[in-house]
Structure 1
Amino acid sequence: MLTMSTVNPFAQRESHPAQAVWTYKILTALSWLLLVVTTFYYSFNAPGDDVKGWRHTIWAVNRLHHTPFAQNQIITSLYWLALFISQIGYVWSLFSSNADYVNAAAGVGSHFIISNLFNFAFVMLFVRGHYNWAEVILVCNFFNLSSLYFRHNTHPRFIHIPVVSGPLAWTFVALYWNGAIAVNAHTLAARIVANIFIWGILVYGLFFLVAYKDYTMGFSLSILAASIGVGQFLTHAIALQWIFAFVIMAVLFIATLLIAVPGIFGKEFSFRREGAVVPADQERAPLLDDH
């Protein structure tokens, strides 16, 4: 008899049948290629169906609508290039002879495929000037990736970074980036609001560092904060936004080092008071199952 868990592609499973694994192999590879090709193409080419002057490349939109959350093209492009390269390793793990790797990769496959399709839709809408609908897509993907994070946060780093923390950090920052374009945030009042909202990146990053000791989220968000800082400094040097962005970058980077470096030497940095009693099930870090 079929149950909800057997037909739900997002359900947690200890193992996956061979047919399901092959389905993940095909759809994961195809959705990844679709997103990579689309992103690279529209980074250098505008859509050919421009009739009202709304169609631009990804980075032309960033320049033409230079809001308080506009990013630096080079830093963000390198971030996504590194993410795409790391995702090759994840896709390849589905073809591994190690059953544990295959089951771990298949366990997050549905979310990864959906995320790729959401990002594809976002790029298609973004370069065509449909920023409100693009924001809806980002919100949907944010919930998809958040669900993935909180349900699958104990996977090894070769899965966690390219599939979970890297895309989630980007999606959170992209909500600010595209949202500011959607509301045409170019006024003084909009900049003041942006000066407040940018601190949400710091709060979001510290949440994962404190609650999950996830330095991959802290490092990803610090890079994206740096991208905002450089992007703002090069166009609005006399402003607070780039200063705030660099402060956020520095705080997240230092906090990330406090979490990551002790782990390298087999020690653990804790934000809890000495002597505090913590339930055993809360002692799990998100990256314990490294291989």
Structure 2
Amino acid sequence: MPEETNGERVSRGVHSLNPFSKRDEFSRNNVLGLQIATLITYIIFLVNTIYYDANSPSEGHYHKHSIWGQNSHHGHSPFAQSSIITSIYWLILLLLQIVYIYFLASNNTTYVTAAANVGAHFIASNLLLFGFVHLWTRSHFVLAELLIIINFFNLSFAYFRHSTTPRLIHIGVVSGPLAWNFVALYWVGAVMVHAHGLAARIVANIFIWGILAYGLFFLAAYKDYTIGFALSVLAFSTGLGNFRSGVVQLQWIFAFTIGGLLFILSLAVGIPGLLGRDPFPRGQIVSEDRERAPLLADE
């Protein structure tokens, strides 16, 4: 067996120090560090979100609102959300993230490795969303949008590098948050540019179809109905948030149409796969290679 060169040693050392690198196994200390950081950032984000869900910031003199107070204050935004639907959506995600934390602490090496591989992305997401909530509630919309963009890339990298993660981990830590981050790009962006007029509404009527295109990509390329259903729910939330919108009355109609289409297509992809009768042969869009498998392990 050839000896390892200095370059290979350096590369291996950098790889081991990179918290976002994909590994086949993790040391006990690595896992312990991830467990501690994961739990701390999860609690910080959870407590912060619960507080600002009902309260507005107390310091400063700028326009301050709670999370949903801010949404209501800018209720004429073409991407305003339904506080009820999106809150239920996040409640489910937060519960699934508890399941993720359990897997990270389990005795099953397969689950621990899968959970640990997305751990750094999950920790980064918690910290970025923690910052987002503080900026959003204080009306710093440009910076809030910047953090949403950074987290969108963070979660996208997690998705494409770990698309075969076991389903319960995948939904709570990757596909569910990624779907919300994509819709939040529109939600926060529309508030940031004060998209209230006729021209902004017309542009929004076009941009909203990006939600459908984004969902179709994952349904076709990865056969991932989890992100399809997630985007469907968030499209319905956008529809309800714009149900009584003025100026141009098409936004809520388009949103409900997109939500319905994604829901039906996600059913078409998901049910046959769960029954073991997948009508869409693997490899038509992506390789059969396990690292690029169109959907996830069912474990």
- Normalising by structure 1, what TM-score? 0.94
What percent identity do the matched residue pairs reach?
Answer: 52
The residue aligned with 1:14 is 24
Give the alignment's Cα RMSD to 1 decimal.
Answer: 1.9
Within 5 Å, which residues of 2 pair with 1:32-71? 32-52=42-62, 54-66=63-75, 67-71=77-81
Q: In the aligned structure 2, how far is the partner of 1:127 from the partner of 1:278?
A: 41
Q: Check the 8 A contact 2:171/2:226 in 1, yes or no.
A: yes
Partner SS state of residue 71, structure 1: coil
Q: Displacement of 1:280 after TM fit? A: 3.4
Distance 1:236 1:161 in 2: 35
Q: 1:31 aligns with which of 11, 22, 41?
A: 41
Q: 2:235, 2:243 → 1: CA distance? A: 12
Where does residue 202 of structure 1 map in the other structure? 212
Q: Does the CA-based 8 Å contact 1:138-1:171 persist in structure 2?
A: yes
Once the 2 structures are TM-superposed, how far is the Cα of residue 258 of structure 1 from its aligned partner? 0.4
Unaligned runs of 5+ in 2: 1-8
How many Å separate the matches in 2 of 1:40 and 1:15?
Answer: 35
- Following TM superposition, by how much is the alpha carbon of 1:234 offset from its aligned partner in structure 2, in angstroms? 3.7
Specify whether residues 219 and 50 from structure 1 end up closer, same or farther in structure 2 by C-alpha distance, changes over 3 A only: same
Give the secondary structure class of the aligned counterpart of 2:242: helix
**Match in the other structure for 2:231:** 221
Matched, 1:284 2:293: yes
What TM-score, normalized to structure 2?
0.92
Are residues 161 and 192 of structure 1, via their aligned partners in 2, closer, same or farther at CA, if it must alter by over 3 Å? same
User: Across the two proteins, how many residue pairs are aligned to each other?
Assistant: 287
Matching residue of 1:247? 257
Task: Confirm or deny: 8 A CA contact 2:163 2:293 kept in the other structure.
Answer: no
- What are the Cα deviations for residues 193-243 of structure 1, in whole angstroms up to 9, with x where unaligned? 000000000000000000000000000000000000011114449600000
Residue identity in the other structure for 1:28: T
- 2:159 aligned to 149, 155, 169, which one? 149
Deviation at 1:277, TM superposition (A): 10
Say yes or no: does 1:128 pair with 2:138: yes
Which ranges in structure 1 are unaligned for 5 or more consecutive residues? Answer: none
**CA distance in structure 1 between the aligned counterparts of 2:145 and 2:19, rounded to whole angstroms:** 25
* Cα drift, residue 284 of structure 1: 2.1
Displacement of 1:97: 1.2
Q: Distance in 2 between matches of 1:211 and 1:153?
A: 11
